Chains A and B, each alone.
Chain A
Amino acid sequence: AQTVTQSQPEMSVQEAETVTLSCTYDTSESDYYLFWYKQPPSRQMILVIRQEAYKQQNATENRFSVNFQKAAKSFSLKISDSQLGDAAMYFCAYRRGSGGSNYKLTFGKGTLLTVNP
């Protein structure tokens, strides 16, 4: 079974600075997707960024980028120029790629990010 581990229950960053959230995963599959979701106090789950395992290039979305190390099974999220609105719980998630019909997301336990003004 796939597992996702987020080793940092809480992180804090100063506004305008950069922070990196860690995520590791375990899988025997070669085709899969990795996601970072953000959950602000409103509790809405918002997709931040997505990475396909077959793509070597790291995904980037504006101030958000990932460091995807497939051999190490590591998928960290870097937030640059942190803003107060980035404060939220961040979840790393795994989904198998293809084959079969089980496309559930497996989540890590989350990292609570605080942004200090």
Chain B
Amino acid sequence: DTAVSQTPKYLVTQMGNDKSIKCEQNLGHDTMYWYKQDSKKFLKIMFSYNNKELIINETVPNRFSPKSPDKAHLNLHINSLELGDSAVYFCASSQPLRRGETQYFGPGTRLLVL
């Protein structure tokens, strides 16, 4: 049983294209996140949604647009892809108000922009 799943796992595309990454969690969590891991392995928050409402937007370019159709899904759409967007993108979910909560991560999507 996959708790947090992402599709696709690998994405190779040309500069200027538009692409989407999908994320789904079956844990019943209210909050979902997108993190970006750069080439130096540094992980940083991009967005967070709580019950379909955007609560964190960490100065991410407007070309990145998260969409949450329901609390089990958080998709990431990227317009006009640039070379610097190449990274691994992780989706995560949690139930933050539950004491001792943990963020569960998806397997990551490796994006390569050529």
Residues of A within 8 A of B (CB): 33, 35, 37, 39, 42-45, 47, 50, 52, 89, 91, 95, 98, 101-107, 109-110
Chain A residues within 8 Å of B43, by CB: 91, 105, 107
Contact count band on B:
20 to 34
Question: Is B31 a contact partner of A103 (Cβ separation < 8 A)?
Answer: yes
Per-residue interface assignment for chain B, residues 51 to 80, with 1 indicating a CB less than 8 Å from any chain A CB and 0 otherwise: 000011010000000000000000000000
Known: A43-B107, A43-B108, A52-B100. A102 touches B41 (CB 8 A): no
Which B63-114 residues sit within 8 Å CB-CB of chain A?
88, 90, 92, 94, 96-97, 99-100, 102-105, 107-108, 110
16 inter-chain pairs at a CB distance below 8 angstroms, sorted by A residue, are A43-B88, A44-B107, A52-B100, A89-B41, A95-B103, A102-B55, A103-B48, A103-B96, A105-B35, A105-B43, A105-B45, A107-B43, A107-B44, A109-B40, A110-B41, A110-B42
Whether B25 is near chain A, meaning CB under 8 Å from some CB there, is no
- Given contacts A101-B55, A103-B96, A104-B48, A109 and B42 within 8 Å (CB-CB): yes
Asked whether, in the complex, the Cβ of A50 is within 8 Å of the Cβ of B31, the reply is no
Question: What 6 additional pairs, Cβ within 8 angstroms, besides A43-B107, A95-B103, A104-B48?
Answer: A44-B107, A102-B48, A102-B56, A103-B31, A104-B58, A107-B44
**Looking at A101, A104, A110, which has the most chain B CB atoms within 10 Å of its CB?**
A104
**Which 9 A-B residue pairs are closest in the complex by CB-CB distance?**
A45-B105, A103-B96, A104-B45, A107-B43, A101-B55, A43-B108, A110-B41, A47-B102, A44-B107
- Distance between Cα atoms of A52 and B101 in the complex (Å): 10
Query: Which residues of B have CB within 8 Å of A105?
Result: 33, 35, 43, 45, 92, 103
Contacts of B42 in A (CB 8 A): 107, 109-110
Contact of A45 with B48 in the complex, beta carbons under 8 Å: no
> B56 CB to closest chain A CB, in angstroms?
6
Most buried by B among A43, A52, A91, A106: A43
- Please give the distance in Å from B43's CB to the nearest CB on chain A: 4
